[in-house]
């Protein structure tokens, strides 16, 4: 059964790790990689029970021109730092990208290839939006470059010198994007990308600050027939929260006292300046006569 097992603290460096271990040896560069899990999990009884792994969907491009685009599925099993490439497709094999909902951000999306159809759920809405935006831009650039290349099957028409007649080969269906928001395609801009990256970073920080759940030891309380009460993980968090609130209120009180003292000093300096101005004005009137 597939579950999200990658620690949140290591997600920020996971892209560089995937790029170094998987794509650099292939003379490719990683454009984007997001962690996903299946919406409809497949039941595989032959797999060992309890073995967990994380799945990443990656978009890469070759360093050699003309650049080729690939979509790769990478897995990492729990307890092993090694990454393994399980599936590999070219961008021409990608038939359809389904954003599921064109009206709002959602983490679900589908990828349809020639002989494969996968239903995924990203770690967050921002990760899915960032992946689709980069994928759409890469597809547009790829097909524009492919249209600008000379067809190797072109031959000259002997009746019309100077003109070229192209032999039409089998047309390759292009990738279609359906149910995707316009801000990810035609209306996409670099500001959206910055916003998505900031959202992803904030989600990772929230997940990293969340205390890990405490697990009940196996077999505890079963022999006596009484349900054992394990200490709630929320109690220490609640106590630390009270301490943080108390410290914050104390700091605010001290800051308020300093502000009051500063305000009193400001009022005193204002009165002194007014008295000095009145004295200077009287002296000026006295000596001007």
**Is 17 in a helix, a strand, or coil?**
helix
Strands of the sheet with 94-98, listed across from one edge: 84-90, 69-77, 53-62, 28-38, 117-122, 108-113, 94-98, 176-178
d(CA 182, CA 195): 16
Cα torsion for 5, 232, 200, 59, to the nearest 10°?
A: 10
DSSP state of 200: H
Report the pLDDT value the prediction gives residue 212, as an integer from 0 to 100.
63
pTM > 0.75? no
d(CA 142, CA 136): 10
d(CA 81, CA 74): 12
Report the pLDDT value the prediction gives residue 173, as an integer from 0 to 100.
72
Question: What burial class does residue 192 get, using C-beta atoms within 10 Å of its C-beta: 0-12 exposed, 13-18 middle, 19+ buried?
Answer: middle
| Residue linked to tokens 């170094």 | 20
Residue 280 CA, distance from chain mean position: 66
Report the pLDDT value the prediction gives residue 216, as an integer from 0 to 100.
59
Report the pLDDT value the prediction gives residue 202, as an integer from 0 to 100.
74
Mean pLDDT, consecutive 10-residue segments, the chain of 289 residues? 44 81 94 91 53 90 92 90 90 94 92 92 92 93 80 44 48 84 79 72 69 60 49 58 77 76 81 85 79
Report the pLDDT value the prediction gives residue 12, as an integer from 0 to 100.
52
In the chain, domain spans: 8-148+172-209, 246-284
CATH topology of domain 8-148+172-209: PH-domain like (2.30.29)
Residue 179 zone, left/alpha/beta (φ > 0; ψ -120 to 50; rest)? left
Q: Are strands 108-113 and 94-98 parallel, antiparallel or unpaired?
A: antiparallel
Structure tokens at 111: 């990828």
- The closest alpha carbon to 72, from 87, 61, 91, belongs to 87
DSSP state of 73: E
Which long-range contacts link 61-67 to residues 24+ away (Cβ below 8 Å)?
61/28, 61/29, 61/31, 61/138, 62/27, 62/28, 63/27, 63/28, 63/29, 64/27, 66/145, 66/146, 66/149, 67/142, 67/145
């Amino acid at each position: 059964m597939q579950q999200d097992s990658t620690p949140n603290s290591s997600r920020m460096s996971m892209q560089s790790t995937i790029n170094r271990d998987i794509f650099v040896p292939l003379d490719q560069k990683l454009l984007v990689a997001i962690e996903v899990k299946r919406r409809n999990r497949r039941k595989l009884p032959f797999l060992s029970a309890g073995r967990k792994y994380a799945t990443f969907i990656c978009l890469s491009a070759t360093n050699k021109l003309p650049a080729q685009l690939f979509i790769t599925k990478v897995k990492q099993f729990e307890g092993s730092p090694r990454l393994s490439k399980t599936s590999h497709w070219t961008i021409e094999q990608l038939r359809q990208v389904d954003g599921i909902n064109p009206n709002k951000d959602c983490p679900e999306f589908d990828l349809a290839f020639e002989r494969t159809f996968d239903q995924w759920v990203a770690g967050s809405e921002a990760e899915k939006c960032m992946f689709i935006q980069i994928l759409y831009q890469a597809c547009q650039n790829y097909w524009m470059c492919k249209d600008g290349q000379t067809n190797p099957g072109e031959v000259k028409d002997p009746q019309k010198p100077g003109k070229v007649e192209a032999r039409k080969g089998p047309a390759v269906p292009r990738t279609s994007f359906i149910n995707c928001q316009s801000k990810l395609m035609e209306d996409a801009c670099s500001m959206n990308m910055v916003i998505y990256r900031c959202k992803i970073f904030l989600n990772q920080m929230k997940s990293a600050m969340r205390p890990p759940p405490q697990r009940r030891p196996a077999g505890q309380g079963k022999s006596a027939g009484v349900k054992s009460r394990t200490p709630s993980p929320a109690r220490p968090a609640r106590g630390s929260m009270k301490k943080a609130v108390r410290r914050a209120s104390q700091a605010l009180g001290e800051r308020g006292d300093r502000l009051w003292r500063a305000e009193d000093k400001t009022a005193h300096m204002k009165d002194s300046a007014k008295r000095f101005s009145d004295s200077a004005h009287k002296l000026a009137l006295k000596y001007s006569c």
